[in-house]
Chains A and B, each alone.
Chain A
Amino acid sequence: MNKHLIATALAAAFLAAPLAATAGEAELMARIEKMAAELEQLKAELKASVKKTEAVEQRQQAIAAAAPAPAPAAAPVMAAPATEPAVAASAPSTIFGAYGEINYNRPTKNASGAQADVRRAVIGVEHRFDQKTKMVAEFEWEHAVVSADDKGESEVEQLYVEREFGNGLRSKVGLYLIPMGLLNTNHEPTAYYGVERNFVETAIIPSTWREVGVSLSGDTAGGLTWDTGITTGFDLGKWDAAGSDGRESPLGSIHQEGQQAKSRDLSVHAALNWRGVPGLLVGGSVFTGKAGHKADGFTANDARITMVDLHTRYTPGRWDLSALYARGQISNTEALNETLVGNPTPVPKSFAGWYTQAAYRLMEVGDYTLSPFVRYEQFNTAKSYAAVPQGLGVAASPDEKVTTVGANLKVGEGVVLKADYQKFKEDKSRDRLNLGMGFSY
C-alpha cells in the first residue's frame, strides 16, 4: 500500500514539475525572444548605416577624383550571388558524444535473482582532421566498476580513421564495427526496442562485434550501399568447453576485440544494403575466416568460422517492422571436439536464429513518444555438432523461443525509458520483467 502511495506521489511529482516549469519559462522565453529580435534589428540598422557610410565615402572619393562619374550600371542580371554554405567555418572539428543504459531485470519465478546494473557507459569522440578525414573513437565501461575483484569491463569499442575518396567511396582503418544485422552498427539504447538487446543479435551475431582491419564502402545512385573489408577474426583456441559462455554466445566467447588479437588467419566480410524505396531496408552480409591461427598442437587449425545474415526493416507511417535471420558455422571441429569429450560445452558446428518485431508509435504528447512493441525470436546456440564416436557426443540443444512484449517511452530524441516482459518457451525459469533507462547524444 505504502509502495503504491509513494509511486503515485513520485509519478505526480514528475508530471507536475514540467507544467510548473513551463509557465515561468514561457514568459522568460518570450522576453529572450523579444530581446533577440531587438538585437537583430539593431544589428541590421548598424549594418545599414555602415553601408550608407561606405557609400557616402565612395561618392566623396569619386567627386574628389573630379572625374565625371559614369551612370551606375544596372544590376547584373545573371549575378547568381548564392553564397557557399559556411560549413567549414561553423562546424567544430572535435565532437564529444555519449550513451549509456541502466537496466533492472527481475526473473518472475525467482525474485531473489533480481538485479540492477549500470549496463554500459560510453564516451564517443569524433575528430575531423579535414574535409575528407576523420577519427572515430568509443570508450566503454560495462557493469559500473572495473577492478581485479569486480565484474566490470573497460574497453575501446571503436577506434578508426575514415577517409572519403569521393564518388561515394570511403575507407576505414582500425577497430570498427562489422556491418552485420540491424543492431551491431546501431547499438545505442535509443535505437532499439526493449530493455535488453535481442537474443539473435547477441547470442548468434556477437554484438557489439568489432574487429581490427581495413574496409572499403560505397553507395550507388540506386540506393545500394556496399561494405567490404579484411579484418582480424575469432580465436577458437579460447574456447572453454568446461564453462557456459560458449553456450550463451559461441562467437561472443571467442571474439578478440582488438586485444592482442591473433592474426595468423585473417577474415573477410561483405555487406549489401538496399534502401531504394523510402522507409524500406533490405540487406544481407557475410563474414568468414579461419580461427585456428596455426597454433602449436591445436587440433582445429583448419576450423573456419562463417556468419551470414539477412535482414529487413520497413517503417511505413507509425509502424516499425523488422525481421532478421542469422546463421553461423564452425567447420572442421571433429578432432577438437574429440579432445573435449566429457565437457558440457563442445564447439558447435552450427548456430542460428531469427526474429520478427513490430512496433507502433501509439502516442505523442509534447516531446513524449510512446511506442509499444512485440518481438518473437527463435535461436539456438548449439544447433548441431560435428560427429563424434557414438555415445561420446553432446546432444544438440532445442531451439529457444522468446516472446518480448513492452514499450519504449522516448523523451525528446535523446532519452528513453523502457519496460518489457520476456517469456521463454524452453527454459521457463528465465521469464523476466525488465525496466531500463537509456540515453544517447
Chain B
Amino acid sequence: MRYRHLIPLAACAAGAPAFAAQYLNAEQAQKLMFPEATAFRQQDLALSLPQMQQVEKLAGLAARSVNWRVVGAYSGDQLLGYMVLDDVIGKFELISYAVGLNPDATVRQIEILTYRESHGGEIRLPAWRHQFVGKSARTGGLAVGDGIANISGATLSCTHLTDGVRRIAAVAQVALKK
C-alpha cells in the first residue's frame, strides 16, 4: 500500500463536477465577447455563390458552408459586432468555438466552447487566443506559422482551428463588414 496517499486524490477526481469538456455555451460566449451589449439578435447568414468564391479567395480555403450561425450584438440600436459559431475537427474530435468580430470585420475575441481531444487543450489559453485579436482577412497573419504560433503536440487542432477562424474572418469581410 505504498500508494495509499493517492487514494484521496483519486476520490477527489471522481467526485469533481461533471462538466465534460464543454467550457462555455453560446450565451456565455457572447456575453464574454460583448459585455456592454444590451441585445443579441440571431442573424444567420446564407452566402451567395459569388460570396462563397470571394471567401475562398480571401481565406485560401474551401468555403465549406453556405449557412453560418451568426449573432449580432447591439447596445440599443448601435451594432457592436458579431459572434460566429462554428465547429472544426481537431485531430479526431469536433472543437466548437466562437469568433467575435468587430463591425469592421477584425477579430475581437476567440472562445473555445468545447474541446475533447486528449491533447492540445492549450488552445484555450488566453495567450494563444489573443494572437488572433485585431487581425482580419485583409491584414492576414491568420495562419499557423504566419502570425499564429503552433502548439507543440497539438499541431492538427491548432491548425484546423486557425483555418476555421481565417475562413470566418473572410466570411465577415465579404458578408458582414459595415
Contacts and interface: CB of A to CB of B under 8 A. Distances in A.
Given A91-B93, A361-B145, A230 B6 contact: yes
Contacts of B85: 82-83, 85
Contact of A82 (B3, B83, B119, B155): B83
Contact of B113 (A85, A132, A316): A85
Interface string A85-98: 11100110001010
B42 A82 contact: yes
Interface string A260-290: 0000001010000101111111000000000
Interface size range on B against A: 35 or more
B19 A166 contact: yes
Contacts of B30: 80, 82
Contacts of A313: 152
Interface string A169-194: 11110000000001001100001000
B118 A281 contact: no
Contact residue range for chain A?
35 or more
B66 to A, nearest CB: 4
Please report whether the interface of chain B is mostly helix, strand, loop or mixed according to DSSP: mixed
A82 B27 contact: yes
Interface in B80-110: 83, 85-87, 92-94, 96
A423 B142 CA distance: 39
B52 interface: yes
B8 interface: no
B126 to A, nearest CB: 8
Contacts of B128: 275, 278
Interface in B47-93: 48-49, 52-53, 66-67, 69, 71, 83, 85-87, 92-93
Interface of B: 3, 6, 9-10, 13-14, 16-22, 25-27, 30, 38-42, 46, 48-49, 52-53, 66-67, 69, 71, 83, 85-87, 92-94, 96, 113-114, 116, 118-119, 121-122, 125-128, 131, 145-146, 148-153, 155-156, 159
24 contacts: A33-B53, A37-B49, A77-B38, A80-B30, A81-B42, A82-B30, A82-B69, A82-B71, A84-B25, A85-B85, A85-B87, A87-B94, A90-B87, A134-B116, A165-B17, A166-B19, A167-B17, A167-B19, A219-B122, A225-B121, A278-B127, A278-B151, A280-B149, A413-B159
Given A82-B42, A128-B116, A216-B13, 15 more contacts: A79-B40, A82-B26, A83-B85, A87-B94, A87-B96, A126-B93, A166-B20, A185-B119, A191-B155, A225-B122, A230-B3, A275-B125, A275-B152, A276-B127, A320-B150
